[in-house]
Structure 1
Amino acid sequence: MIDTHQHIWDPKRAAYEWLGPDLAEIDRPIYFDELRHELRDAGVDFTVQVQSADDPDDTALMIESASMHPEVAGIVGYAPIDRPEECAATIEAWAGDSLMVGVRTLIHNQADPDWLLRPDVDEGLSVLEGYGLAFDVVSVLPRHLEHVPVIAERHPDLRLVIDHLSKPPIGLADREPWWSLIAAAAEHPNVHAKISGLYSATGDPAAWTTELVEPFVDRAVEVFGFDRLMYGGDWPISILAGGYTRVWNGLRPIFERFAPHEREQVLGRTAASFYRLSPARLGLG
C-alpha cells in the first residue's frame, strides 16, 4: 500500500510562505516520525513525499528524510519550471537518485491563474517531459483544471497527476463546473488523479463525511478508471481535517466497495507505475 501524498516541513530550514498563525496547528517543524505509527495502523507500507514550498531547501529536507526512512519510496521535488535552464540544472543534479520521481510547484500561489500557460513555463514542462519526470498539478481553481487538457495535449509524453481531485465542491449544492471539467481532463490518457485532500469546501475542512465525499470519488472512478487513480493521505494538512486516521477511515469504506484488483490499483499499483517507483525500494527486486 502506497500513500502518494505526504509532506514534511521545517520553517527553520525552508521558506513556507503559506504557513502562519492562521494555521497554528501545523505551523511548526513536522517530520516523518510523527506520522509513522498512523501509517502502520492504516496498513500503509510506503509514501511519496511531495514538495510543500517552491524552495530547493524543502526538497533537500525530503531527500534527507528519505535517507533515514525506507518507507519513503519517492520524492516529488521542486524545480523552477518558469526558468527552464535552472529547471534542467536542478534535474541534472538529481541524476542517479531513483527516489526523485517528479516535480511540483505551488501554482495556486501564483497571482496569475493562467501561469501554467506562460511560454516560459511551457518550456519548463518540456524539460520535465524530456527527462521523464512526472508533474503534480496543484489545481485549486476551476481555471487551473481547465488548463490540464491544454497541457496534456501540448505534452503528450508528460505524466500529469491532479492533486486532490482538483478540490471538488464537497458539501456544496452545485457540483459544476468541477463535474464537467474533471471529465474533460480525464479524456487525456497521460492525466491521472489523486484521491487525496478531499475536505469540506464549506469553510470548515473537518466538516466532511464519507457520504459527502463518496459521489466525487465515484465520479473520478467513472472518468479515470481505477488504473489512473491513486490514494493520498495529504498529511499533515489532513491534521486540519481531523487527522490522518480519520481521513483514512473515512475513505476506507469507499475503497472497500471496490473489487480486490481495483482496490489494489488505487492503493498501490497505479502509484508504482505512474511515478516509476524503484522496485528495489519497494522490496520487489
Structure 2
Amino acid sequence: MIIDAHQHVWDLDRADYPWLGPETPLWNRTFTFSELKPALERNGVTHTVLVQSADNFEDTQLMLSVADQHPEVAGIVVYVPLEQPAIAETRLTELLQDPRVVGVRNLIHNQPDPDWILRPEVDEGLSVLERAGVTFDYVAVLPRHLGHVPTLVERHPQLRIVIDHLSKPPIGASDVEPWWTLIAEAAAGPTVFAKLSGLYPGDAPDTWTATSIRPFVDRALEVFGPQRLMYGGDWPISVAAGGYDRVFAGLAEVLSGLSTADRAAVLAGTAQRFYRLP
C-alpha cells in the first residue's frame, strides 16, 4: 500500500482559484482525478488524500464529488474559514458527517500578513479544529511561517499539525539557514508532522534532482523520524517539476536507503495514522 498524502484537483468551472491566471500557464486549466489516475497506477499508489486548492466552499464540494467517483480517495482536507470561528465550527460539524473529511487547510501563504495564523480570531478557529480532533495542514512558505509552529504547539497541544512541503526548504540555495534550524524547532513538538512533497525550487521547479533534495529529506528524517513524515506527490503543481513519475522516482531514490519498515511508514503508515484513515 502507498498513500499519496497530498494531491489536488481543481475545476475552473466549479470554483474560483484566485492564484491561477495567465501568469501561471502550466496550471491555469482544469485538472481531474482521471488525468492523475494512470500515474498513480504506474507507481503503485493505492490511495490518496485530496487537499484543498482554494479558500472557498465550492472547492471543498468539488473534492467531495470527486471522492464519490474515485474510491482511491481515502481522505479529504477541506476549507473552513479559520478567521470566522463560529462559521468554521458550523461548517466543520456539517462536513464531518462524511468520514472522508479528515483535516482542514487555509491558504495562509497567500495572506499579506505573515503573522495571520497568530491572530486571536484565527487562534479561536484553530481551537475549533482541536476540539473536533481534526488535523491542520499548515502551508508554511516563509521562514516566519515556520517559526510560528512552536507557538501553535504551545497554544494548541492537542492539535495535530502537518507542515506541507517541508516548509519549502532552500533547495539549490547556498545557505540552508534559517530553514535548517527552524525545521528542527518545529519538529520538537510531538504533535507536528511533515510532508515530503513539493520539494523543488519555486522559481525553477524543473531544476531539482535527487541529489539536491537529499540533504533536506535527510534533515527531516533526522528531526522528525519516519514515523512523522509522509509522502505527497503534490500533483498537479508537480507538472512544473517534471510530472508525477519523475517526482515519485526521485523521492523513491532518496528513500531507498531506509529500512523496509521506515520506508513503509513514509509511504503509507504515517499518513494513515495522522489522518486516521480507514
For the superposition of Structure 1 and Structure 2, which TM-score range results when normalised by the shorter chain?
over 0.9
Q: Post-superposition shift, 1:217?
A: 0.1
Letter in 1 for 2:273: S
SS in 2 for 1:73: strand
Which residue of the partner structure matches residue 35 of structure 2?
A: 34
SS of the counterpart of 2:205?
coil
For 1:40-60, what per-residue CA distance to the aligned partner results, in whole angstroms no more than 9, with x for missing partners?
111100000000000100000
Q: Which runs of 5+ in 1 are unaligned?
A: 279-285
Confirm or deny that 1:256 pairs with 2:272.
Answer: no
Q: Deviations over 1:139-180 (max 9, x none)?
A: 000000011110011101000000000000000000000000
Which residue matches 2:11?
A: 10
The corresponding residue for 1:234 is 234
Partner of 1:187: 188
Residue correspondence of structure 1 range 105-184 to structure 2 within 5 A? 105-184=106-185
**Mapped partners of 1:87, 1:96: distance in 2:** 15
The total of aligned residue pairs comes to 277
**1:74-121 alpha-carbon deviations (Å, 9 max, x no partner):** 000000010000000111111321100000000000000000000000
Which stretches of structure 1, 4 residues or more, deviate above 6 A after TM superposition?
Answer: none
**How many angstroms does 1:25 deviate by?**
1.8
1:271 equivalent in alignment to 2:277: no
Kindly provide the amino acid, as one letter, of the partner of residue 19 in structure 2.
W
Residue 282 of structure 1: aligned partner: none
Structure 2 residue runs of 5 or longer lacking an equivalent are none
Could you say what secondary structure the match of 1:21 adopts? coil
- CA distance in structure 2 between the aligned counterparts of 1:113 and 1:92, rounded to whole angstroms: 28
- In the other structure, the counterpart of 1:69 is 70
| Separation (CA, whole Å) in 1 of partners of 2:4 and 2:208 | 20
In 2, the alpha carbon distance for the partners of 1:110 and 1:26 equals 20
Q: CA deviation at 1:198?
A: 0.2
Partner residue in 2 for 1:46? 47
Give the alignment's Cα RMSD to 1 decimal: 0.7
2:246 aligned residue: 246
Instruction: Name the residue aligned to 1:211.
Output: 211
Distance 1:54 1:16 in 2: 8
Name the CA distance, whole Å, in 2 between partners of 1:204 and 1:225.
Answer: 28
For 2:179 and 2:62, how far apart are their aligned partners in 1? Answer: 34
Structure 1 residues 97-112: aligned runs within 5 Å: 97-112=98-113
DSSP 3-state at the match of 2:23: helix
